[in-house]
Amino acid sequence: MNVLNIIATVDPKSGGPIEGLRLSAEKMGDWGHRSEIVSLDDPSERFLGEVSLPVHACGGHGRRGFPFQLTDRIRRNAHRFDVAVIHGLWNWASLGGWLALRQAGLPYVQIVHGMMDPWFGHAYPAKQLAKQVVWTLAQGRALRDARAVLFTTEEERRLASGTFSGYRYCEEVVRYGIAEPPPSSEAQLCAFQAAVPRLNSRPYLLFLSRIHEKKGCDLLIEAFARIAGHAPDLQVVLAGPDQSGLRPRLQAQADRLGVGSRLHWTGMLQGDAKWGAFRGADAFILPSHQENFGIAVAEALVCAVPVLITDKVNIWPQVKASGGGLVEVDTVDGVSRLLEQWLQLQGDRKQGMRVAARRCYEKHFQIDAAAQSLLDVLHRAVGRG
């Protein structure tokens, strides 16, 4: 099978969609299926060379205006593919891809990637009104025309129901997952230590995600300040790109609360430094207000690291049932309870949670099962023609 993937950007700083695309496509490639990507990235971007799949960068990412180059490329090359996958909503790659695929007659599925979660409407009501207009004019029609609209958890599908009105579409829930990381090595720990020289081998909680309003970094800082006196050696490592300029405000908050010196900001970690960060952490924490899946959570689980998350991370039911982590609500009090419960656990309980975390990954989030789930949907999409 030849699969065309349409996505706004393949920049790893953009978060989970490109990582999920890459991992599934690489696994399907092991089984003999070929995947290519068309994006709105500038062809001169250095990160294009880091993607193991063929990428056709058409330019226009972040600009306003219809993506004529992208639609033209899709129309001219559609005959080479059996099926397409559109990743995400509310961008020109998604809408331009829909129009080009419809004109070419190529069947497609659409992966929502959490972009229909009602949290966005509560947080940005003006944008929600604009999205309803776009939904009525184009985006809803794109989902209606898809052979299937894909959600990565049942919780994500449930939350999306009724968020926008005007069109019906065929819903399916597919598995999602990650590949096994490289084996643990001294090089990983050294790379991480080089990225955080002030840490000095002290115990730490790891936050590894984009520095964004929806991730709840402010909740983490406030909650950590409440319990800091009970764990004087404990540190917090915040690893991730700050694309919205939020970090100075968060640093000021931490300084005001007296914990600024115990927070370590690393920027985005990749390769050995990232895996060293996971493997050295006491626990992983993600106090998000909205997370359709949370690839970083699965990355912690695969490394046998307990996870402390909110019930807005949509894989929380699997985490809670497995015993591989703790779950609370996305408020300062809720995140404070997460940290308090973690500190109260004895050594044998924490070790048991590490074992349970790894088992949670093996049961729910292995890449083979995730890729097969997507492949099954793609075969059905072709057959529905």
Percent of the chain residues topping a pLDDT of 90: 91
pLDDT at 297 > cutoff 90:
yes
User: What is the Cα–Cα distance from 129 to 364, expressed in whole angstroms?
Assistant: 36
- Report the CATH fold assignment for 186-364: Rossmann fold (3.40.50)
The phi and psi torsions of 290 (rounded to 5 degrees) equal -155, 130
Mean pLDDT throughout 31-57?
A: 95
Q: Where are the beta strands (DSSP E) in 40-111?
A: 55-57, 83-87, 108-111
pLDDT at 162 > cutoff 90:
no
Of 62-66, 157-161, 300-304, where does mean pLDDT reach its minimum?
Answer: 62-66
Whether the Cβ atoms of residue 137 and residue 330 lie closer than 8 Å to each other:
no
* pLDDT band with cut points at 50, 70 and 90 for residue 379: very high
CATH number, domain 2-177+367-383, options 3.30.420.40, 3.90.550.10, 3.40.50.300, 3.40.50.2000: 3.40.50.2000
What tokens does 313 get?
């991370």
DSSP character at residue 313: B
User: What is the Cα–Cα distance from 98 to 70, expressed in whole angstroms?
Assistant: 11
The phi and psi torsions of 343 (rounded to 5 degrees) equal -65, -30
> Exposure string (b/e) for 74-103, b if CB count within 10 Å is 16 or more?
beebbeebbbbbbbbbbbbbbbbbbbbbee
What tokens does 309 get?
């998350």
Closest CA to 70 of 35, 39, 102: 39
- Predicted pLDDT of residue 11: 94
Whether the Cβ atoms of residue 363 and residue 322 lie closer than 8 Å to each other:
yes
Closest CA to 275 of 307, 236, 254, 304: 304
Mean pLDDT throughout 186-212?
A: 95
Mean pLDDT throughout 241-269?
A: 96
More confident residue, 16 or 76: 76
* pLDDT band with cut points at 50, 70 and 90 for residue 244: confident
Question: Which three-class secondary structure state does DSSP give residue 59?
Answer: coil
Mean pLDDT throughout 112-135?
A: 92
Half-sphere exposure (CA, 13 Å, Cβ side) for 343? 19
DSSP labels for 101-130?
A: HHHHT--EEEE-TTTT-HHHHHH-HHHHHH
What is the edge-to-edge ordering of all strands in the sheet holding 83-87?
55-57, 34-39, 2-6, 83-87, 108-111, 148-151, 171-173
- Predicted pLDDT of residue 13: 87
- Predicted pLDDT of residue 384: 65
Query: Mean pLDDT of all residues in the chain?
Result: 95
- Predicted pLDDT of residue 144: 97
- Domain regions of the chain by residue span: 2-177+367-383, 186-364
Give tens-digit pLDDT for 275-287: 999 999 999 999 9
Of 115-119, 234-238, 341-345, where does mean pLDDT reach its minimum?
Answer: 115-119
- Predicted pLDDT of residue 136: 95
Whether the Cβ atoms of residue 7 and residue 87 lie closer than 8 Å to each other:
yes
Q: Where are the beta strands (DSSP E) in the chain?
A: 2-6, 34-39, 55-57, 83-87, 108-111, 148-151, 171-173, 204-208, 235-239, 263-267, 283-286, 307-310, 325-328
User: What is the Cα–Cα distance from 136 to 158, expressed in whole angstroms?
Assistant: 21
The phi and psi torsions of 306 (rounded to 5 degrees) equal -60, 145
Give tens-digit pLDDT for 312-345: 999 999 999 999 999 999 999 999 999 999 999 9
Query: What type of residue sits at position 13?
Result: K
Give tens-digit pLDDT for 65-111: 889 999 999 999 999 999 999 999 999 999 999 999 999 999 999 99
Closest CA to 330 of 342, 316, 351: 316
Whether the Cβ atoms of residue 89 and residue 115 lie closer than 8 Å to each other:
yes
Closest CA to 288 of 8, 15, 13: 15
User: What is the Cα–Cα distance from 284 to 320, expressed in whole angstroms?
Assistant: 14
Domains 2-177+367-383 and 186-364 are alike in CATH topology? yes
